[in-house]
Amino acid sequence: MLNIVWFKRDLRITDHEPLVRACAAGPVLPLYIVEPGLWAQPDASARQWAFAAECLGALQHDLAVRGQRLAIMVGEAVAIFRALHQAHGISAIWSHMETGNGWTYDRDRAVGAWAREAGVAWHEFQQFGVIRRLRSRDGWARRWDQMMAKPLIPAPSDIQPLPASGGPSLPTDIPTAQTIGLRADPCPGRQPGGRSAGLAVLDQFLAVRGRDYRWRMSSPVTAFEASSRLSPYLSWGALSMREVAQATAARLRNLPMTDPDAQRWRASLISFAGRQHWHCHFMQKLEDEPRLEFENLHRAYDGLRPAQADQAVLAAWCAGTTGYPFIDACMRALDHFGWLNFRMRAMLTSFASYHLWLPWRMSGLHLARQFVDYEPGIHWPQIQMQSGTTGINTMRVYNPVKQGLDHDPTGQFVRRFVPELRGVPDAYIHQPWLWPAAASLGYPPPIIDHEAAARAARAALHAVRVGSDHQAQAAKIADRHGSRKAGIPMTGRKRGGPAKPGKRGSPVRPGKQGDSNQLSFDL
């Protein structure tokens, strides 16, 4: 009988409770299922698979040196489990809970139904601070702290292999993106996958790069270096949130007070620790209400935007050819790196949803494919938050010219990613259409009048918000999804300086400062 450890987006052996529990139960078959149905979804991309495949290679090595290689099978999960059970017998399946997209939600329900019918135990364990079947947000932050404070689970020193005779002989090759039907998706600046790479990024951030995190994460000029860049390693489970949280806390405790930079480090690490809470806070929203991947959280916004996107406008936004240099530079940088700092992610979504009036599902799918660190539980709540359809958040309509002037005043970032504008003087770099020689640039004029478009968007959303039943529905949403007053630390506060060591920041109220703040997931 097989004890199957089903790896999904938890591609590591350290701090992996299902693996350790399965090892205690007997011989183990570590299994990863490459699911063509999952990779055919419109939020999947070859750049994501390339990162995941590198994580799988590292995981395969770590398992092999402990006595058992990782089996890699291609197919649908229920069919594979059924075939393994018929051929060899499955004693139990061990895995982490997953807060994934709608396809994985349906897949897990199908696996659960099959396991019950077949009499196979399926043991699922919490991975992030997300709580399944949560009844109330009251006390959520305290439970997050308790989870993250538990001791890290060491990797097993050895894994009891399956019997040499009578055991399954299963494939271990990692398929290519082309094999599983993914189209070419070059991403030359993508971070390398794998646990060792993730640990190196974490160590470097906590030792060197993180000092000015709090002040340098908002601008794309500085964010690629100042942000932790841990998000893909957390999204694919090469690192656990608990080990990142504990490493951050240890660095805070051990800051030498004689270091002249200690206060800067302290402020940055407190901000970074706060964002670890927010990471799971947003994942909890999708866990509690999976429909928000597809539907407006607040139903009063149904029908506000067109059901179908203007394909020419969507294509220009996706390609970084809107005629707004800072918008286009951010989109092209994202295409190159597979990563972008959070403020710029929010700006791209805001521009698509408000100025271009595109349906958020369409723009959200393009961004999902571009993000190597795509985490559905963060992505879709944030897409709705930045598109103004939650009913409980401040409407944020970013001025694309002002954002460029604020975060790239000399045009350094724009000139790197929009080479058509390299010869434009600084005074015109964010409004090249005003430059007398603009016609010679080979760069498109603005796709819309951003000021007029912003006014129209604000008026349309305001008309919904003053509706008679808007507030009542918003109150129910805040009660279900909002952060609580004495819970998650505030981050990025403009006044009052950093919170004192060991204390929480300012309280958060649902629908006010909490979720409407310019949150950052630059992890």
480 touches 289 (CB < 8 A): yes
Q: Which residues pair with 7 in a beta bridge?
A: 32
- Which amino acid is residue 190, in one-letter code? R
* Chain segment 41-65, per-residue pLDDT in tens: 999 999 999 999 999 999 999 999 9
Q: pTM of the entire structure?
A: 0.92
pLDDT tier at 115 (50, 70, 90 boundaries)? very high
Mean pLDDT calculated for residue range 73-77: 97
Q: What does the alpha-carbon distance between residue 125 and residue 375 come to, in Å, rounded to a whole number?
A: 18
**CA distances (Å), origin 126, targets 73, 123, 241, 503:** 24, 10, 11, 26
pLDDT at 162: 81
Hunting for tokens 């000015």 — which residue is that?
212
Helix (H, G, I), strand (E, B) or coil at 432: helix
Instruction: Convert the pLDDT of each residue in 267-310 to its tens digit.
Output: 999 999 999 999 999 999 999 999 999 999 999 999 999 999 99
The amino acid that residue 277 corresponds to is H
For residue 195, what pLDDT band results from cuts at 50, 70 and 90? very high
Topology given in CATH for the domain delimited by 2-127? Rossmann fold (3.40.50)
Convert the pLDDT of each residue in 136-179 to its tens digit: 999 999 999 999 999 999 999 999 888 765 566 788 999 999 99
Residue 1 has a pLDDT of 84
Residue 519's nearest CA partner among 287, 157, 277 is 277
CA distance linking residue 310 with residue 63, whole number of Å: 49
- Condensed to tens digits (0 to 9), the pLDDT of residues 12-46 reads 999 999 999 999 999 999 999 999 999 999 999 99
Reported as type and span, the H/E element at residue 91 is strand 90-96
pLDDT at 164: 66
What is the pLDDT confidence band of residue 449, given thresholds at 50, 70 and 90? very high
Q: Has residue 494 got a pLDDT over 60?
A: no
Which CATH number fits the domain 196-289, given the four candidates 1.25.40.80, 3.40.190.10, 1.20.200.10, 3.20.20.70?
1.25.40.80
Q: Is 502 helix (H, G, I), strand (E, B) or coil?
A: coil
Instruction: Report the distance separating Cα 88 and Cα 84, nearest Å.
Output: 6
Domain-wise residue ranges, the chain: 2-127, 196-289, 291-481
Rounded Cα–Cα distance for residues 462 and 478 (Å):
19
Average of pLDDT values for 200-210? Answer: 97
What's the topology of domain 291-481? Answer: DNA Cyclobutane Dipyrimidine Photolyase, subunit A; domain 3 (1.10.579)
Q: Are 229 and 51 in contact (CB under 8 A)?
A: no
User: Rounded distance, CA 519 to CA 523, Å?
Assistant: 12
pLDDT band for position 509 (50/70/90)? very low
Neighbours of 268 (CB within 10 A): 23
Instruction: Please tell me whether residue 286 adopts helix, strand or coil conformation.
Output: helix
